[in-house]
Amino acid sequence: MKIMRFFKTLPKNNRGIALLITLSVMTIIIAFGLELSQSVRATLISVASGHRDRMTLSYMAAGGIQVTMGLLAKNKELDAVNAIQEDFMISDAITDAMESIPFENGKLSIQVIDEKAKIQINALFKDGKEVGDQMNLLHNFLLPRIEKDKKNSMEISSVIDRIIERLDPSDDRVSLGQSKDKTGKGPFIDLGELTQIKGVTPELIRSMGGFEELSKNITVYGGTSPTGAGSAPTGDSKKKNVIYDGKININTAELPILTALVGDPKVAEDIYKFREEMKDDQYVPDWYRQFPLNQNVITNISDFFRIEATATMNDVKLKAAAVVHREQNKKTGKWTCKILSWQTS
């Protein structure tokens, strides 16, 4: 060692001082090593604990989603129509179910969102042609949002035209951000694919409220088989036999969608208030017929839902979201929920 060689070269009368220096240096090195060891050990324990908590949270969230899927299926067996009160009954049932499951130092919350309360972007093109009612619906929803940004030069009609071009597999026009052989045509699988369309810039998305706002009101889900055999999972949504009816569940649609449906904010507000007042009363299935609504684009039935489960433990949070389709087994008559997508964050 260099320290020892240094020690031997010193005169005898200086070797005592050198010994003290050497011992001091070794003491510092040992102390540093012990501190580093403890720090590494604490870090490893923290990492292991965090990993354990995330694993536990993932099981909690998955369990909550599974319970909710069972409640949605059971509710369908009891009532085919999605009444205004259904969301509240399911929420209460979920809360009771979660409280009966003992989570040590953990908490789980569930939110159910009706995907049929949103505009189905894939319904704008059907049977080889544009669907006027759906185009008007999307136009009414997007226009006031784009008009907020006067600097935006792209008109709403151009946005819709380019969406149609994307949905029409026979359209030879190239309005997509990439070459035709690299960008798929047909139904959207994810709302983020809007950015693949030429001219749909991040600035335009922001002017429309951003993806978070758009995802609250627009969906890529709702496709079913024409034979009634089942829903279209994300990976199968580009098959030609998938049908998107584009109908909005009038019982669960939020105010922005109601406004797009009637084109008049005042009438939409009246519908919303009337619906809120009816929550605690006897449900009337065709209550909405007293309002000026296009009956071709509304329904009171929904079988597509987004289930969001948020689990927390020891200051660690995990969120899982699943889009499910409630469907009936033709042989047994039993209702089940089929998972179409699953995301964890």
Report the DSSP beta bridge partners of residue 144: none
Alpha helices in 148-182 (DSSP H): 156-167
Spatial contact of 344 and 61, defined as CB atoms under 8 Å apart: yes
What would the pLDDT profile of 281-318 be if each residue is shown by its tens digit?
A: 666 777 888 888 888 899 988 999 999 999 998 888 99
- Name the residue among 176, 189, 183, 187 with its Cα closest to residue 126: 187
Q: What is the pTM of this model?
A: 0.77
Q: How many domains does the chain have?
A: 1
Q: pLDDT band at 153, cuts 50/70/90? A: very low
Write the DSSP assignment of 41-70 as a string of letters. HHHHHHHHHHHHHHHHHHHHHHHHHHHHHH
CB 122 within 8 A of CB 237: yes
158 vs 287: CA distance, rounded Å: 36
* Parent domain of 191: 1-345
pLDDT band (50, 70, 90) for residue 210: confident
Q: What is the pLDDT of residue 340?
A: 95
What three-state secondary structure class fits 152? coil
| DSSP annotation string for 100-125 | TS--TTEEEEEEEEEGGGSEEGGGGE
Following DSSP, what letter does each residue of 281-306 receive, concatenated?
Answer: S---TTGGGGS---GGGEES---EEE
pLDDT of 325 above 80: yes
Distance from C-alpha of 262 to C-alpha of 329, rounded to nearest angstrom: 36
Residue 343 contacts by C-beta under 8 Å, 6 or more apart in sequence? 320, 321, 322
Query: Tens of pLDDT along 84-104?
Result: 555 555 666 676 666 666 667
pLDDT at site 172? 57
Output the pLDDT for position 151: 53
Lookup: tokens for 29: 């090195």
